[in-house]
Structure 1
Amino acid sequence: MSRKARPPVPPRLRLAALVQAAAALLWVPQAWLLAAAVFSLTGPYASPGEAVTLAMVFAGLGLLRAALDAWGGRLAFRAARDELTRQRARAVAVLSQRAPLDPTLPPSGEIAGLLAEQAEAVVPYLQRYVPVRWRLILVPGVILPVVAWHSWAAALILLVAAPLIPLCMALVGIRAKKASEDQLAAVGSMNGLLMDRLRGLPTIRALKAEHLVAERLGTLAADVKRRTLAVLRIAFLSSAALELFSALGVALVAVYVGSHLFGQAEIGTWGQTLGLTEGLFILLLAPAFFEPLREMSALWHDRASGEAALRAMTALDGPPLVPVAPTEAPPEGPVLRLDGVTFTYPGSAPLVTGVDLALYPGEKLALYGPSGGGKSTLLALAAGLLRPDKGVVVRRGKVGWIGHRPFVMNASLAANVSLGRSGVAAAPVLQRLLPGHDPTRRVGEGGIGLSGGETLRLALARAIADPDASLILADEPTAHLDASTAEEVINALLAAAQGRALLIATHDPRLAARMDRVVEVGA
């Protein structure tokens, strides 16, 4: 992820990183105290009392270090959770501003999987990797001059060994980024397919195609497994490479200090010989110098997964639905007006070109023509579900929508009509359009428990339940219905739309003949 694409580090996370870095730097005085205590016990002037004092101070710094590290860890976790919540809220807000029928939107299952499951990878990335990145800057930057104060040769060894680790990590990271993105995409594809197949489960059972669906899901699951193992292999490789370089760096420092103490390599200091205290102090600091690099290696997988999740959430951004609120028409005149409306789906020829249309209160108009001619697209443009490439769509009042496949949730009939809208009385319209049905009766998702005609009547009740809805839009309301049921739906639709403007998209000549006007589309 580029520096510009990364979200800014929250202030609390920056504080947590500084607190944890301060805890790590307390090892510098602790290492000196430990080296001095060992010297006081083994040197020519042994002083057990001084060693006990040094040990007590060492223990006190250790407790302070543990407290700071725990506090910083809690701060980092809370900041990471808050940032994930903010990122999720931003993604949902962005999606809510996009056109509902935008063909560039990812499948709903993929979006749900990303926001509910894969986005959790952001927490370990922010909680652990970001603080480690700060420690990587601060801790070696303090330890290196401290070691150089006593021995420039030991500092030179650390300085030469350190860049090998980031270089190796950068090379591994290029592949890790691609592997994590592929794994995230594979999980999203599997979630999208699963959601789609769950929606079509009755059809799958009717066609006895369960084994085909199972085989397809099994193939996708195997692909997810393979890509996940590829990510883990890269993570283990990076850890092994970093452990090798850090172990070599510490070993070279140990060889130099040992040779110097035995008088075999008296170079590398500032004119004086290293004593036991200085030599042990340098040996104790060498592993701490590489510790942030080792932690970064252990968290490299968290970084790849977290940044891949952030990139995927950022990729949900798209052109907002403009205008967000419907453009209001004047109090007098048409309820709906389309002026020079043009629309093209990505990668295809223009479907709607320069359409002018006006619909007045109480008027009933049919968009009539064959499938694929642009009727449903015009209806979606009129509803504000799509944004025109050119032209203006002007509406007056609220819109009642009846989709080609009406949405029915697993809830009561009344809840399916009101959809949580305040001031919408569901019972009266249900008694009118679905007489004999208890408004509290529960129906299954997708309309399980209702016939096709009853499902259309429920959608019609939802569209007209709001008294302020001055425009009713219906997309193929008689499609897939037998002749008698279609006639019932037509009569109910016309009766319910009395006093309101009605715009329908249909290829049913019986329904078109009942309208005041017919506009042929795609003929």
Structure 2
Amino acid sequence: MQLAAALVWLPMAWIIARTLGQLADDAGTAAVLPAALAVLALGLLRAGLEALGTRMVFRAARAEVGQLRRQALAALAARDPLDPGRTASGAAASVVAEQAEAVLPWLHRYRPVQLKVVTVPFVLLVAVASISWAAALILLVAAPLIPVFMALVGIRAKAASEAQLAELGTMNAVLMDRLRGLSTIRALDAVEVTAGRLRAAAESVRQRTMAVLRIAFLSSAVLELFSALGVAMVAVYVGFHLLGDLNFGAWGGRMGLAQGLFVLLLAPAFFEPLRELAAVWHDRASGEAAHDALMALGTAPAADPAPAPSPAEATISGPPSLSLQGLSFTHPASGRGIPQGFSLEVAPGERVALFGPSGSGKSTLLALIAGLALPDGGRIIIGGTPLDASTRADLRRRIAWIGHRPHMIAGSLMANVRFGRAVEAGPPLARLLPGVDPARQVGEAGFGLSGGEAVRLAIARAIADPAADIVLADEPTAHLDGDTAARVRTALIEATAGRTLVVATHDPDLAAALDRVIRLEGAA
């Protein structure tokens, strides 16, 4: 539609030129009214096509950006939390939230202009050539100079945009890291040093952004120069031809006033798509760079398949057994992991404590059981089903996780228990936090909750799904005082009755309260 709107100018220009020629020949104003009505109708048609086409392209572009974001988020979610090659949180947030928006103008502005550039000038060139081969030759010589110089500028523009987006992602990653460690920074009295580093990162982003803008302005200046020269040369030729000083270049001898005006009206329109191209050239450079960054995130390991539960699985009743057979796992970055050749048998409904000092591999074992990472060797069997890349997505439906710092969202207690799932949150809340209003609002990161309340809320979240018959708890009593830890121990044991429970802890009281204690002295 946008292409058709651009081509509507061809009959409009011919009607205007012919009408002015008739007026010059004393045709009278009676000939103007039909022409004016025709121009008005074509103008409305052109505006309508342009508006409708732009609206449709924008909607399609927005849908495509949304799809790219979903692919990137799915790929990020599929990456193992223990994978050292994961994209930094700040950089990933920058790509998905900020840089993705640069793809939108590239799709809904640059792509339609690209179609116009490869179509409209050729149609108008044929129309001009049908009247004057000399004017067409001028346009034909001037036109290629623009894309040649635009391509040269564009190579540098894309490189500058990629560097600017990469620097922006780095700054976001640094900022995220500093925010996470804000209390440590204050404790070490390193606020000024940290602020200086952030200022340096922001200055680097500013310099790279200005470099991108300089290149964008340069591309516009190059195009404006050559398009202005092309239109001026056509105007000079037509003017001298109408004056009789140039008697060549037109079919049949000389052009009339109507023909000359028609050529003059088409000359600026010939360069118009190229002028639009200059205006969106920066959108192309930044959009392609952002698109490549999104695609790089989206080509991470695909998410595990999530098949629907089979009839056999749907009839499973009771908690499953858990078997760890000769496990080995080492973190690539640190070289540490779990005790090599680790084995453990957990009976259905048994509650087991993994007890040991920090660094002994307790949390890593929980991550392996949860399928958040795959072991280097050995097998994990849950309820008779081996856990591997093809089954872990399905087995994770049976697993609930309780962290020592459970994440809370800004919202009601009920919303924090549901956590986006279609589960019944009332009974678990009443059981774990009796007398507390389920509609009570909490702030981001659990602001307004005590440490014990946050952990008990996390336990309620874990048991809210009846299908989660394995509960993994990572240091649930860490950072709690004695009385609060005792209440959490009681709540955890009572709430997980009838489920298989594995707890990583260095709390001797919690370990003693469970059915069995597995002592870990350290990773091999």
Instruction: Tell me the TM-score normalized by structure 2.
Output: 0.82
1:182 paired to 2:163: yes
Pair 1:344–1:292, CA change in 2 (3 A): farther
- Using the alignment, how far apart are the partners of 2:34 and 2:424 within structure 1? 78
> Shift of residue 132 of structure 1?
0.9
Unaligned runs of 5+ in 2: 384-396
- Using the alignment, how far apart are the partners of 2:317 and 2:425 within structure 1? 26
Partner of 1:416: 416
Partner of 2:365: 378
1:127 paired to 2:126: no
Pair 1:430–1:23, CA change in 2 (3 A): closer
Partner of 1:522: 523
Give the SS at the match of 2:446.
Answer: coil
> Shift of residue 143 of structure 1?
1.0
Give the SS at the match of 1:37.
Answer: helix
- Using the alignment, how far apart are the partners of 2:443 and 2:523 within structure 1? 37
1:26 paired to 2:27: no
Partner of 1:144: 125
Pair 1:313–1:522, CA change in 2 (3 A): same
- Using the alignment, how far apart are the partners of 2:27 and 2:61 within structure 1? 50
Partner of 1:337: 323
1:276 paired to 2:232: no
Partner of 2:451: 452
Pair 1:183–1:418, CA change in 2 (3 A): same
Per mean C-alpha deviation after superposition, the further-off stretch among 466-475 and 189-198 is 189-198
Structure 1, residues 40-88: CA drift from partner, whole Å, max 9, x if none?
Answer: 2335x65554455444433332232223222222222333333333333
Give the counterpart of 2:22 among 22, 40, 46. 40
Structure 1, residues 456-477: CA drift from partner, whole Å, max 9, x if none?
Answer: 3332333234444322211233
Give the SS at the match of 1:319.
Answer: coil
Partner of 2:391: none
Pair 1:296–1:354, CA change in 2 (3 A): farther
Aligned 8 A contact 1:334 1:358 in 2: no
Give the counterpart of 2:268 among 287, 302, 323. 287
Pair 1:510–1:253, CA change in 2 (3 A): same
> Shift of residue 175 of structure 1?
1.8
Matches within 5 A, 1:162-311: 162-195=143-176, 197=178, 211=192, 214-270=195-251, 272-311=253-292
Pair 1:74–1:420, CA change in 2 (3 A): closer
1:362 paired to 2:349: yes
Pair 1:456–1:64, CA change in 2 (3 A): closer
> Shift of residue 205 of structure 1?
6.0
Partner of 2:41: 60
> Shift of residue 136 of structure 1?
0.8
Give the SS at the match of 2:265.
Answer: helix
Pair 1:448–1:146, CA change in 2 (3 A): closer
- Using the alignment, how far apart are the partners of 2:63 and 2:487 within structure 1? 53
Pair 1:224–1:143, CA change in 2 (3 A): same
Give the SS at the match of 1:266.
Answer: coil
> Shift of residue 387 of structure 1?
4.1
How many matched pairs? 503
Give the SS at the match of 1:469.
Answer: coil
Aligned 8 A contact 1:157 1:253 in 2: yes
Partner of 2:137: 156
Aligned 8 A contact 1:401 1:472 in 2: yes
Give the SS at the match of 1:502.
Answer: strand
Per mean C-alpha deviation after superposition, the further-off stretch among 481-490 and 497-506 is 481-490
Structure 1, residues 81-121: CA drift from partner, whole Å, max 9, x if none?
Answer: 33333333444444444445554443445444444444333
Pair 1:431–1:274, CA change in 2 (3 A): closer
1:399 paired to 2:385: no
Structure 1, residues 451-504: CA drift from partner, whole Å, max 9, x if none?
Answer: 434433332333234444322211233434456655554454444444332222
> Shift of residue 150 of structure 1?
2.3
Per mean C-alpha deviation after superposition, the further-off stretch among 359-368 and 138-147 is 359-368
The residue type paired with residue 409 of structure 2 is M
Aligned 8 A contact 1:418 1:426 in 2: no
Aligned 8 A contact 2:505 2:511 in 1: yes
- Using the alignment, how far apart are the partners of 2:378 and 2:159 within structure 1? 42
Structure 1, residues 338-381: CA drift from partner, whole Å, max 9, x if none?
Answer: 45655555556584666554322132334344544543222112
> Shift of residue 31 of structure 1?
2.1
Partner of 2:69: 88
Partner of 1:3: none
- Using the alignment, how far apart are the partners of 1:437 and 1:426 within structure 2? 11
Aligned 8 A contact 2:319 2:500 in 1: no
Give the SS at the match of 2:401.
Answer: strand
- Using the alignment, how far apart are the partners of 1:82 and 1:365 within structure 2? 48
Pair 1:344–1:137, CA change in 2 (3 A): farther
- Using the alignment, how far apart are the partners of 2:138 and 2:378 within structure 1? 69
- Using the alignment, how far apart are the partners of 1:138 and 1:79 within structure 2? 22
Pair 1:392–1:168, CA change in 2 (3 A): farther
> Shift of residue 189 of structure 1?
3.8
- Using the alignment, how far apart are the partners of 2:125 and 2:196 within structure 1? 58
> Shift of residue 141 of structure 1?
1.6
Give the SS at the match of 1:163.
Answer: helix
Pair 1:166–1:450, CA change in 2 (3 A): same
The residue type paired with residue 476 of structure 1 is E
- Using the alignment, how far apart are the partners of 1:336 and 1:75 within structure 2? 54
The residue type paired with residue 380 of structure 1 is A
Pair 1:207–1:451, CA change in 2 (3 A): farther
Aligned 8 A contact 2:433 2:453 in 1: yes
Partner of 2:389: none
Give the SS at the match of 2:472.
Answer: strand
Aligned 8 A contact 2:19 2:31 in 1: yes
Pair 1:446–1:209, CA change in 2 (3 A): farther
Matches within 5 A, 1:468-483: 468-481=467-480
Instruction: Tell me the TM-score normalized by structure 1.
Output: 0.82
Aligned 8 A contact 2:410 2:443 in 1: yes
Aligned 8 A contact 1:342 1:350 in 2: no
Per mean C-alpha deviation after superposition, the further-off stretch among 238-247 and 448-457 is 448-457
Pair 1:332–1:32, CA change in 2 (3 A): closer
Aligned 8 A contact 1:472 1:500 in 2: yes
The residue type paired with residue 360 of structure 1 is A
- Using the alignment, how far apart are the partners of 2:195 and 2:301 within structure 1? 37
Per mean C-alpha deviation after superposition, the further-off stretch among 197-206 and 395-404 is 197-206
What is the CA RMSD across the aligned residues, in angstroms?
A: 3.6
